[in-house]
C-alpha cells in the first residue's frame, strides 16, 4: 500500500527543520548505503551522528505521533530515526530496494523495514526532476509532494529518485517496523479503520454497528500483530 499523508509538518515546522539541517555539514550519501544502493546513489546526506539531524529528526518523530493517518496506515512498532538527503546538479538515486534490516550505528537499535517513508522538505516548484518513482502493483508511480507532506510505501518495492536538473531537492527518509508484518493484512486493517471512521461521522461512535465493527478491527489486530 502506498499512501500520501498531507501536512505531517506545517510550514513553521518545515522552517524549523530546514534551519537546523541547512546550517549543518553534509557528506556523501553513501555513508548509509548497502552494496547495491552504493552503485546507484548520487546525493548528499547528513551524518546520523549530526546534532542537527537528531534535533530535526525529533521534530519529525513528534509530528508523526500526532498524525492519525500515519498511525492508522503504518501501525508502527518502531521507527528508525529520520535521516536527511539532498539532490542537486543532476544527482539521482537509481533503482534499488531498501535493506530488510536497518541497524543504527553505535547502538543495539534495529528494525525490520516493513515500510519506507519520504518526507518532502522543499516545495515542488522550486526544483525540476527529483520525483520519487515507486514500482507497485499498478506500475511505476511518480510522486513529488509539497513540503511537509509524506509518502508511505512498502520497503519491499523497487524505487528510485529521478535526476534533479534545477534547484535542490531536500527530504527526510526513514523506515518503520509495523506491528503487522503482512502488508495485505495491514491494508485490510487500514481500510476497515477508514470505513469505521467514515460511518461513525454519520451514525456516531455509540452506534451498535460501529461498536461491533470496532470490535472486529481490534480482534483482527490482536490476531495479526507482533507486538
Q: Report the distance separating Cα 166 and Cα 117, nearest Å.
A: 24
Cα–Cα distances (Å) from 4 to 33, 73, 119, 149, in that order, read 25, 10, 10, 7
Measured in whole angstroms, the distance separating CA 163 from the mean position of its chain's CA atoms is 20
Query: How many other C-beta atoms can be found within 10 angstroms of the C-beta atom of residue 150?
Result: 26
Partners of residue 4 on adjacent β-strands: 151
Is residue 218 annotated as involved in ligand binding?
no
Q: Report the distance separating Cα 14 and Cα 50, nearest Å.
A: 18
Is residue 159 annotated as involved in ligand binding?
yes
Measured in whole angstroms, the distance separating CA 36 from the mean position of its chain's CA atoms is 21
Query: How many other C-beta atoms can be found within 10 angstroms of the C-beta atom of residue 210?
Result: 17
**What is the sign of the dihedral through the CA atoms of 19, 23, 24 and 30?**
positive
Binding residue numbers: 96, 98, 159, 169
Binding site for Fe cation: which residues? 96, 98, 159
Binding-site entries for 2-oxoglutarate: 169
Amino acid at each position: 500500500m502506498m499512501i500520501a499523508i498531507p501536512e505531517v509538518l506545517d510550514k513553521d515546522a518545515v522552517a524549523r527543520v530546514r534551519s537546523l539541517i541547512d546550517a549543518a555539514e553534509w557528506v556523501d550519501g553513501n555513508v548509509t548505503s548497502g552494496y547495491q544502493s552504493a552503485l546507484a546513489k548520487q546525493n548528499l546526506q547528513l551524518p546520523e551522528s549530526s546534532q542537527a539531524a537528531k534535533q530535526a529528526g525529533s521534530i519529525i518523530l513528534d509530528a508523526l505521533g500526532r498524525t492519525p493517518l500515519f498511525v492508522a496506515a503504518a501501525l508502527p512498532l518502531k521507527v528508525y530515526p529520520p535521516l536527511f538527503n539532498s539532490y542537486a546538479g543532476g544527482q539521482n538515486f537509481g533503482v534499488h530496494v531498501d535493506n530488510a534490516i536497518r541497524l543504527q550505528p553505535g547502538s543495539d537499535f534495529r528494525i525490520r523495514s516493513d515500510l519506507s517513508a519520504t518526507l518532502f522538505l522543499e516545495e515542488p516548484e522550486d526544483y525540476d526532476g527529483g520525483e520519487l518513482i515507486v514500482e507497485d502493483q499498478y506500475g511505476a508511480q511518480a510522486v513529488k509532494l509539497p513540503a511537509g507532506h509524506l509518502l508511505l510505501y512498502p520497503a519491499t518495492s523497487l524505487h528510485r529518485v529521478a535526476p534533479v536538473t534545477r534547484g535542490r531537492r531536500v527530504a527526510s527518509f526513514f523506515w518503520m517496523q509495523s506491528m503487522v508484518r503482512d502488508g495485505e493484512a495491514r491494508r485490510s486493517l487500514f481500510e476497515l479503520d477508514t470505513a469505521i471512521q467514515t460511518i461513525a461521522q454519520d451514525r456516531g461512535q455509540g452506534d451498535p454497528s460501529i461498536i461491533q465493527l470496532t470490535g472486529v478491527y481490534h480482534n483482527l489486530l490482536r490476531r495479526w500483530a507482533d507486538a
